[in-house]
Amino acid sequence: MNLQSGLREYAITSAFKDSRFSPITRDEFTKLSVSVSILRHFEDGNDYLDWEVGVHGIRIEFVNEKGNKRTATYLPEVATEQGI
């Protein structure tokens, strides 16, 4: 997927399909701002504590008990914003 298509697809997904939040409304649309983080050069950690809160982001990958692969990526500021 090219960058332009990916940004379009994930903007729509974030705005309307992220189950953690209510979909944006028409009234909110003019008040929105956007930021884009392009993530690359991930490094494997040697230990689950091999990162510093507020400095490093984290990508988690695992296979659940049904054999489905699950992934999540968190930017460095997410842990701080969530009070961790």
pLDDT digits (tens, 9 = 90+) for 25-79: 999 989 999 888 888 888 888 998 888 888 889 898 999 999 999 999 999 998 8
Residues 48 and 84 in one domain: yes
Structural domain containing residue 14: 1-36
- Mean pLDDT value across residues 7-28: 93
**Structural domains counted in the chain:** 2
Using CA atoms, how far apart are residues 75 and 81, in angstroms rounded to an integer? 10
Global pTM value: 0.59
Residues 31 and 42 in one domain: no
Residues 77 and 52 in one domain: yes
- Name the DSSP class of 73: E
Residues 47 and 79 in one domain: yes
Three-state SS for 10-70 is HHHHHHHCCCCCCCCCHHHHCCCCCCCCCCCCCCCCCCCCCCCCCCCCEEEEEECCCCCEE
Residues 25 and 42 in one domain: no
